[in-house]
């Protein structure tokens, strides 16, 4: 490993070294509350280093031209998002049920964050798979450390076996990609597929189709897309709020980032297959998730189906990208499906992480807030936390002026543009109108169960409430921070929207972005 590669990976190394120190030192000082604060210091240091890497990006890109890392704006976007949600979950996890396990818990959260950062910056199949496993393996431990009862053990076992199955399917898809490209590097695979798919009847074309289906199946488990969603409701219900939040956020960010890197960018020539797969998955996923969520009384189970539905929304962005980049229509050149998906996954992550942090705060060490009825009277007993939960529910519904509205607007407006392009420029274009209509109807359906939570908090008698507000100040701070970010992005979405669009552009045209960064660096040196 060269010094340049180490400098690129320095944020991840800081996170891993912080976690390692907490593991080792925590064995001698268990139960101390400052381990969460130390973890936050490590996350902040990694974020500071990541922010400073832009000044040296030109030299790093040149040195890393043949390396496994994608030094581009998409990598920085996902890595920065990973650190942000990592800080939120460290705060929320600072007071687990067993305080003697604080070092192990926060250290393992940091390891999962490091895995997500690797996924965001990987442009090579081996490193990408390593990052995915560095998310999955710590998650097994977190599920075991959450609640020491039969339901928690059952959740951990279900997630372990199904995650191993998804990893095997993903690896099988990667093997076909390697067979087509003769390399594990995504840029080499991209060039080889562009050459192989000139003649659709070749063996390489068949392998590419199989690879696409297998990759979607394997990563479909990560993002909980239908029909690979079946583990999520049981696992979420059987664990803690913090663990459920981690499951709802980290694997979903990783799965979308991996799908963008592999399916949308590194596999030219399979757009029509990708378009059909993503449209079907998007329709089924958002519809089933929202409809089944209507009948749920357990909060975590309901939010599990909510998470499934939001995976369907994100897949709309990938479908739009497949259609827009297969078409030569000038009207579709400014349609950015990847940028919309990246924007949506960010605003979804903030609202979801904040929701679970707020519910974790409302519980106590002996009893969690499990059912929706347990929230009765929270609006009067904990008005600030109830207001934060209301912000999250409204944002997840997609009501303006919160961040979730702009996320759904970006996704569905892209689908409408593709649909209005006409059948001559894009195959199945009329189905994008159907996709956008179904998406809007699903957002309306989701309002029923999100608003139900708000109604119980404010309009139900508190005699049935199990909320105690003993989850710790860290969880409360995490919830308030997420609420402020959701409101801020809703009122001024242009910054995050531009960052997501720049990330999508850089992922598709790294050479142009590198040249631009080099020019900026030269200007800075001249000054």
Cβ(391)–Cβ(401) below 8 Å: no
Query: Looking at residues 178-202, what average pLDDT do you find?
Result: 75
Stronger pLDDT, 487 or 149, i.e. the higher one: 487
pTM score, two decimals?
0.90
pLDDT of residue 369: 86
> CA-CA distance, 360 to 369, in Å (whole number)?
8
Stronger pLDDT, 306 or 102, i.e. the higher one: 306
Q: Taking Cα atoms as reference points, which of 431, 370, 473 lies closest to residue 92?
A: 473
Cβ(270)–Cβ(208) below 8 Å: yes
pLDDT of residue 421: 74
φ and ψ of 450, to 5 deg? -70, -45
Distance of CA 401 to the CA centre of its chain: 22
Residues 391-394: contacts with CB under 8 Å, at least 24 apart = 391/351, 391/354, 391/483, 391/486, 391/487, 392/351, 392/352, 392/354, 392/355, 392/358, 392/482, 392/483, 392/486, 393/355, 393/450, 393/451, 393/453, 393/454, 394/450, 394/454
Stronger pLDDT, 159 or 421, i.e. the higher one: 159
- Give the position of tokens 């562009």: 194
- Give the position of tokens 């600072």: 94
pLDDT of residue 505: 85
pLDDT of residue 514: 38
Those residues whose C-beta lies under 8 Å from the C-beta of residue 113, and which sit 6 or more positions away, are 15, 43, 82, 83, 85, 86, 89, 250
Query: Looking at residues 8-16, what average pLDDT do you find?
Result: 91
φ and ψ of 66, to 5 deg? -110, 15
What's the distance, Cα to Cα, between the start and end of the chain in Å? 33
**Is the per-residue pLDDT at 451 higher than 70?**
yes
Query: Looking at residues 363-388, what average pLDDT do you find?
Result: 87
- pLDDT class for 230, splitting at 50, 70, 90? confident
**Is the per-residue pLDDT at 210 higher than 90?**
no
Greatest mean pLDDT among 5-14, 309-318, 366-375 lies in: 309-318
**Is the per-residue pLDDT at 373 higher than 70?**
yes
Over pLDDT 70: what percentage of the chain?
A: 85
* Encoded tokens for 87: 């800080």
Those residues whose C-beta lies under 8 Å from the C-beta of residue 162, and which sit 6 or more positions away, are 221, 231
Stronger pLDDT, 196 or 290, i.e. the higher one: 290
Q: How many CB atoms are closer than 10 A to CB 4?
A: 18
- pLDDT class for 508, splitting at 50, 70, 90? confident
Cβ(419)–Cβ(411) below 8 Å: no
pLDDT of residue 511: 39
- Give the position of tokens 């990938």: 318
Residue 277 burial by Cβ neighbours in a 10 Å radius (0-12, 13-18, 19+): buried
- pLDDT class for 518, splitting at 50, 70, 90? very low
**Is the per-residue pLDDT at 74 higher than 50?**
yes
> CA-CA distance, 75 to 93, in Å (whole number)?
26
> CA-CA distance, 372 to 440, in Å (whole number)?
25
* Encoded tokens for 125: 């199949």
- Give the position of tokens 């581009």: 72
- pLDDT class for 18, splitting at 50, 70, 90? very high
pLDDT of residue 331: 63
pLDDT of residue 395: 95
* Encoded tokens for 426: 């894009």
> CA-CA distance, 365 to 343, in Å (whole number)?
35
């Amino acid at each position: 490993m060269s010094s340049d590669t180490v400098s690129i990976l320095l944020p991840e190394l800081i996170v891993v070294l912080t976690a390692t120190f907490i593991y080792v030192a925590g064995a001698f000082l268990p139960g101390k509350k400052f381990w969460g604060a130390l973890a936050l210091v490590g996350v902040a240091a990694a974020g500071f280093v990541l922010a400073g890497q832009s000044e040296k990006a030109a030299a790093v890109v040149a040195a890393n031209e043949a390396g496994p890392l994608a030094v581009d704006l998409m990598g920085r976007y996902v890595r920065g998002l990973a650190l942000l949600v990592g800080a939120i979950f460290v705060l929320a996890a600072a007071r687990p049920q067993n305080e003697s396990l604080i070092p192990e818990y926060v250290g393992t959260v940091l390891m999962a964050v490091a895995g997500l950062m690797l996924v965001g910056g990987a442009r090579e199949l081996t490193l990408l798979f390593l990052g995915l496993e560095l998310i999955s393996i710590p998650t097994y431990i977190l599920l075991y450390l959450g609640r020491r009862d039969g339901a928690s053990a059952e959740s951990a076992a279900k997630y372990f076996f199904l995650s191993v199955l998804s990893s095997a399917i993903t690896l099988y898809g990667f093997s076909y990609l390697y067979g087509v490209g003769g390399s594990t590097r995504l840029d080499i695979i991209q060039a080889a597929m562009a050459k192989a798919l000139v003649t659709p009847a070749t063996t390489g074309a068949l392998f590419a189709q199989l690879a696409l289906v297998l990759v979607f199946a394997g990563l479909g488990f990560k993002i909980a897309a239908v029909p690979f969603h079946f583990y999520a409701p049981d696992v979420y219900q059987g664990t803690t709020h913090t663990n459920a939040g981690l499951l709802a956020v980290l694997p979903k960010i990783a799965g979308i980032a991996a799908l963008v890197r592999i399916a949308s960018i590194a596999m030219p020539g399979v757009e029509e297959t990708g378009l059909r797969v993503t449209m079907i998955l998007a329709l089924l996923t958002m519809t089933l998730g929202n409809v089944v969520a209507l009948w749920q009384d357990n909060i975590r189970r309901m939010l599990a189906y909510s998470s499934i539905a939001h995976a369907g929304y994100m897949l709309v962005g990938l479908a739009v990208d497949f259609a827009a980049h297969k078409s030569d229509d000038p009207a579709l050149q400014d349609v950015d499906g990847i940028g919309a998906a990246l924007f949506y996954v960010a605003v979804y992550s903030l609202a979801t992480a904040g929701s679970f942090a707020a519910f974790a705060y409302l519980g106590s060490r002996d009893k969690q807030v499990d059912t929706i009825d347990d929230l009765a009277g929270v609006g009067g007993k904990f008005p600030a936390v109830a207001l934060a939960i209301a912000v999250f529910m409204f944002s997840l519904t997609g009501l303006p002026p919160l961040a979730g509205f702009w996320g759904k607007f970006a996704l569905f407006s892209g689908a409408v543009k593709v649909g209005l392009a006409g059948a001559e420029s894009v195959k199945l274009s009329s189905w994008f109108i159907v996709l956008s209509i179904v998406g809007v109807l699903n957002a309306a359906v989701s309002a029923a169960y999100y608003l139900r939570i708000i109604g119980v908090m404010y309009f139900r008698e508190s005699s049935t409430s199990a909320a105690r507000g003993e989850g710790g100040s860290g969880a409360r701070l995490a919830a308030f921070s997420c609420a402020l970010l959701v409101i801020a992005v809703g009122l001024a979405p242009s910054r995050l929207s531009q960052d997501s669009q720049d990330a999508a552009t850089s992922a598709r045209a790294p050479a142009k972005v590198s040249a631009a960064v080099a020019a900026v660096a030269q200007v800075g040196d001249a000054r």
